[in-house]
Amino acid sequence: MKTKKTITDNTVDPDILAYTVGDDPVLDRDLVVWDCMGTAAHVTMLARMRLKTPVVTKAEAKAVCTELAHIVDEHRKGKFSIKVEDQDVHMAVERVLTERLGDLGKKIHTGRSRNDQVAVDVRLHIADELIGLGDEFLDLAEALVEFGAEHDRVPLVGRTHLQPAMPSSVGVWATGHAEMVLAQCHNLKAAHDMNDACPLGSAAGYGVPLPLDRRLTAKLLGFSRTIHNVFGASMARGENEACVLSLCAQLMAVLSRLAEDLILFSMPEFGYFKLPREYCTGSSIMPQKFNPDVLELVRSKAAQVLGLSTAALSLLHAMPGGYNRDLQDCKGLYMKGLSITRTTLRILTKVVEGLAVDADRCRAAFTPGVFATDVALRKVAEGTPWRDAYHQVRDHLELLNGEDPDQAVAAKKHEGTTAGLSYNHYYSAIGDGRLDVDTWRKTLYGSLEKLLGQ
């Protein structure tokens, strides 16, 4: 009786197989498009290799690409499945190509290993995710800047140690948080740059005795360069995901601080901001409750993403050089980290867009002490040395009077303070960020379109 061979002629114990395959059949669904794209570039390159007997002809490479495009279509319609027997997306795609194209399907893996294959899939997937992440975090920055512009000069007590400190404004508060989000553009660009190198052609991590044109595949896939060293290319897997996770962890820490401010300033005791009712959740026992659960969960998600980032680095630090199966577990970590971060960005944008300001409560919070530094500085303007002025005010705090918060806000005019904010500065930073993300988008989707007509 003829038995049907699986691609790797599997003799592995079913329990061991299930354990080693892990979540790949589910997680790898997110890699189907990118696996097909990587394979399209690889076969296109194989067909251009100068050999006495070509591995595949140009016509055959075209036939493979057409079939890969069908697989992507089927996947988008939910009709492509990865079976446990396949182990992962790579073997599922090869199985289907072989079922449909016969011997031609069996040739596509020539000169390639699943190690460089998955590494390139992950990089393409990350490139796609960073485009979405970039859009989303620029959206949040924009929502904060717009909120700031709308309530620019509304006085807000500036705090240090959470204690009332000095006159500030809603504009400074909102664009300050926008500034924190925008600073992460540096990390986003760094993550993109690190990711923008092609490992394909490194095979199992040691190359192959075939004249692979690694620069061609890198170019076809839209990468700006190859990872030159084959062994380095195999070790770069995981490092790259850890870099993305560290971006996510830092960004989540920024978002968590924003969430914490919103929780505080919207609680009844402060009452500066008001969350829309429909963004708050109630209690099963206390009818009066409108809780900011959504913001509390931002805090907890920040902790989770930090954990994922730590998990990735922990997984890497003890591994010897070359491919090790540990790397497979990095996949779920970075996918989860990106997914949490992206959802959180979208949710926070919505929250900021729905936020209302109670300007009266903001003004009412200005206790006399908030003006203490301004009073001392007025003494300086009259010729008193700063330290003397400071002591004169500190020794007689009971003499401080309430002042006009709006005047105090208008009096600070230097760069970046209450009356010295440049909204153009933020709009141009957001615009620059959008230009970068658009360039990445054109490159990646342009390459996808050329290879698979998608």
b/e map of 292-317 (b: 16 or more CB within 10 Å)?
bebbeebeebbeebbebbebbeebbe
> Of 114, 151, 214, 301, which lies in the binding site for ligand ARG, with binding defined by CB under 6 A?
114
Q: Does residue 323 touch ligand ARG according to CB under 6 A?
A: yes
Query: By CB neighbour count within 10 A (0-12 exposed, 13-18 middle, 19+ buried), where does 209 fall?
Result: exposed
d(CA 105, CA 95): 8
d(CA 162, CA 270): 12
Active site residue 161: yes
Kindly state the helix (H) or strand (E) to which residue 125 belongs, with its residue range: helix 114-150
Q: Which residues contact 46 (CB under 8 A, 6 or more apart)?
A: 54, 55, 56, 61, 107, 108, 110, 111
Token pair 């360069």 is found at 225
b/e map of 421-437 (b: 16 or more CB within 10 Å)?
beeeebeebbeebeebb
Query: By CB neighbour count within 10 A (0-12 exposed, 13-18 middle, 19+ buried), where does 26 fall?
Result: exposed
Q: Which stretch binds ligand ARG (CB under 6 A): 46-54, 78-86, 163-171, 324-332?
A: 324-332
Q: Which listed residue (161, 317, 396, 414) is catalytic?
A: 161
Q: Does residue 202 touch ligand ARG according to CB under 6 A?
A: no
Q: Which stretch binds ligand ARG (CB under 6 A): 163-171, 247-255, 322-330, 416-424?
A: 322-330
Active site residue 125: no
How many residues at the interface with ligand ARG, by CB under 6 A?
10
Considering the complex, state which of residue 326 and residue 432 has its C-beta at the smaller distance from ligand ARG. Answer: 326
State the minimum distance, in angstroms, from the CB of residue 346 to ligand ARG.
Answer: 28
Q: Which residues contact 246 (CB under 8 A, 6 or more apart)?
A: 187, 309
Question: x/- contact string, 282-321, with ligand ARG (CB under 6 A)?
Answer: ----------------------------------------
Considering the complex, state which of residue 87 and residue 417 has its C-beta at the smaller distance from ligand ARG. Answer: 87
Considering the complex, state which of residue 265 and residue 323 has its C-beta at the smaller distance from ligand ARG. Answer: 323
Q: N- to C-terminal Cα distance for the chain?
A: 42
State the minimum distance, in angstroms, from the CB of residue 91 to ligand ARG.
Answer: 9
State the minimum distance, in angstroms, from the CB of residue 115 to ligand ARG.
Answer: 5
In the window 128-157, what residues touch ligand ARG (CB under 6 A)? none
Q: Does residue 198 touch ligand ARG according to CB under 6 A?
A: no
d(CA 188, CA 445): 19
Q: Which stretch binds ligand ARG (CB under 6 A): 111-119, 125-133, 298-306, 417-425?
A: 111-119
> Of 67, 86, 88, 128, which lies in the binding site for ligand ARG, with binding defined by CB under 6 A?
88
Question: x/- contact string, 15-44, with ligand ARG (CB under 6 A)?
Answer: ---------x--------------------
Torsion of the alpha carbons at 161, 162, 164 and 168, rounded to the nearest 10: 100
State the minimum distance, in angstroms, from the CB of residue 209 to ligand ARG.
Answer: 19
> Of 115, 169, 175, 344, which lies in the binding site for ligand ARG, with binding defined by CB under 6 A?
115
Q: Does residue 328 touch ligand ARG according to CB under 6 A?
A: yes
> Of 5, 77, 317, 325, which lies in the binding site for ligand ARG, with binding defined by CB under 6 A?
325
Query: Is 213 within 8 Å of 98 (Cβ atoms)?
Result: no
Q: Which stretch binds ligand ARG (CB under 6 A): 126-134, 180-188, 323-331, 363-371?
A: 323-331
Tokens of 353: 């867009």
Beta strands in 74-145 (DSSP E): none
Q: Which residues contact 306 (CB under 8 A, 6 or more apart)?
A: 249, 252, 253
Q: Collapsing DSSP states into helix, strand and coil, what is residue 159?
A: strand
Q: Which listed residue (81, 283, 314, 428) is catalytic?
A: 283
Q: Which stretch binds ligand ARG (CB under 6 A): 282-290, 326-334, 412-420, 429-437?
A: 326-334
- Where on the chain is the footprint of ligand ARG (CB under 6 A)? 24, 88, 114-115, 118, 323, 325, 327-328, 331
Would you please indicate which residues are annotated as catalytic (active-site) residues? 161, 283
